[in-house]
């Protein structure tokens, strides 16, 4: 095993961890906070989400000898950030997270369930994903009209990074974000802990299990995680000619998600972006040794977990509009990709459009979120159009 280690794998693993964390920590934090978490609960959730991501990023590559990259459910966190908090508060959200993790575990043991998810028309799944992402992606433009002095440097840094290398866009934006906070806000009066602490003050939340939480949060979160993360993540590995045991990987990520969910952590899943970084030649000439890049990223994630208390403290005195704007910038590439895929079938434009609009509206019906109704309505329209006779024949 250690004979497969290489310097390119080490470098790419560290780079992937930095890109993955910096590009999405604000989204995860926004999602947890939107569900009603206090600062202490948000720090606990961020810590365990990062630890879970790190453990899986070590466990899966070691057991499969493939660069099986793992990430937290970024689209899932965006969905939580754009969804109204449940009546039962964060306890009900934690119950929904447990429901979602349970569904992922069951999918690993019952492959037919995974096939059902995969059978959802891809334009419908992408319409759902685009609708979930839209609200956060509007945040940078909204912030430009309300806090231009704070957001402009971040936008400029993001554009500079994007023009150089799209993977550098978010790290540049995050660095600009930190600089903006340092020079424009009174750090001396901030709630940042004066005594450095490696661990956040862990809080426990009694989960509340409700049907509304299952339908409104758990089920859409499961669908977004599977369709928006796991399936593309598997595709990247297979594209790079790695053998993938999908049920086994889903079981492992699901079990870890189940363990961390009681602490308010969002699910972990396969990653596509960091997998593409670590499965290519930049991670080493020998494909058989590139799994070390994923292991390295896992070790880095475990170390980054201990920054959770500092990250939450930093975010707690930054304007909420600035935090959501940074999160929105990170999601723009995903929004562009999902919209393009949603409208890729010229004969079937209405169904994904309806899914997108209902999911993006933020509406609720009978206490159930628009994400659920969007995918139901879109799927019905899709299949009804498929059954209609083609005119002229």
Q: Is the pLDDT of residue 189 over 70?
A: no
Q: Give the domain range for residue 31.
A: 2-145+187-318
Q: Within a 10 A sphere around the Cβ of 116, how many other Cβ atoms?
A: 12
**Nearest-5° Cα angle at 259, 255 to 260:** 120
Determine, yes or no, domain membership for 46: yes
pTM, to two decimals: 0.81
70-72 and 268-270 beta bridge pairing:
antiparallel
Determine, yes or no, domain membership for 160: no
Determine, yes or no, domain membership for 364: no
**pLDDT bucket at 388, cuts 50 / 70 / 90:** low
Q: Where are the alpha helices (DSSP H) in the chain?
A: 7-34, 39-64, 74-82, 89-109, 111-119, 122-137, 139-146, 148-164, 169-184, 211-213, 219-225, 231-239, 246-260, 273-279, 291-305, 308-316, 320-342, 350-361, 370-387
How many domains does the chain fold into? 1
366-376 residue pLDDT tens: 767 777 888 88
**pLDDT bucket at 268, cuts 50 / 70 / 90:** very high
Determine, yes or no, domain membership for 346: no
Determine, yes or no, domain membership for 137: yes
State the average pLDDT over residues 212-229: 88
Query: What residues contact 208, with CB distance under 8 A and at least 6 apart?
Result: 88, 91, 92, 94, 95
């Amino acid at each position: 095993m250690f004979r497969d280690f290489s310097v390119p794998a080490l470098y790419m693993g560290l780079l992937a961890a930095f890109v993955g964390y910096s590009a999405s920590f604000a989204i995860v934090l926004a999602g947890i906070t939107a569900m009603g978490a206090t600062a202490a609960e948000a720090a606990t959730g961020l810590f365990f989400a990062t630890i879970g991501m790190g453990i899986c990023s070590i466990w899966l590559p070691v057991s499969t000898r493939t660069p099986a990259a793992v990430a937290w459910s970024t689209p899932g966190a965006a969905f939580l950030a754009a969804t109204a908090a449940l009546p039962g508060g964060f306890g009900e959200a934690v119950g929904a997270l447990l429901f979602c993790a349970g569904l992922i575990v069951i999918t690993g043991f019952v492959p037919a369930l995974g096939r059902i998810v995969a059978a959802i028309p891809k334009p419908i799944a992408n319409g759902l994903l685009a609708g979930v992402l839209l609200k956060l992606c509007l945040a940078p433009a909204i912030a430009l009209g309300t806090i231009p002095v704070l957001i402009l440097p971040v936008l400029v840094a993001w554009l500079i990074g994007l023009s150089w290398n799209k993977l550098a866009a978010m790290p540049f934006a995050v660095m600009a974000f930190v600089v903006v906070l340092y020079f424009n806000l009174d750090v001396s009066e901030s709630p940042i802990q004066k005594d450095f602490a490696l661990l956040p003050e862990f809080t426990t939340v009694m989960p509340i299990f409700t049907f509304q939480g299952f339908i409104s949060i758990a089920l859409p979160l499961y669908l977004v995680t599977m369709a928006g993360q796991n399936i593309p993540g598997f595709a990247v590995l297979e594209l790079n000619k790695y053998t993938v045991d999908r049920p086994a990987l889903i079981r492992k990520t699901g079990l870890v998600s189940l363990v961390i969910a009681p602490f308010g952590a969002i699910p972990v899943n396969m990653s596509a972006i960091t997998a593409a970084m670590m499965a290519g030649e930049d991670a080493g000439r020998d494909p058989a040794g590139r799994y070390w890049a994923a292991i390295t990223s896992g070790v880095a994630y475990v170390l980054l977990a201990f920054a959770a208390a500092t990250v939450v403290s930093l975010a707690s005195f930054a304007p909420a509009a600035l935090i959501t704007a940074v999160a929105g910038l990170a999601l723009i590439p995903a929004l562009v990709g999902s919209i393009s895929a949603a409208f890729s079938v010229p004969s079937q434009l209405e169904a994904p459009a309806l899914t997108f609009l209902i999911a993006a509206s933020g509406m609720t019906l009978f206490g159930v979120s628009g994400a659920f109704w969007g995918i139901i309505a879109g799927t019905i329209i899709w299949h009804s159009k498929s059954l209609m006779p083609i005119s002229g024949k």
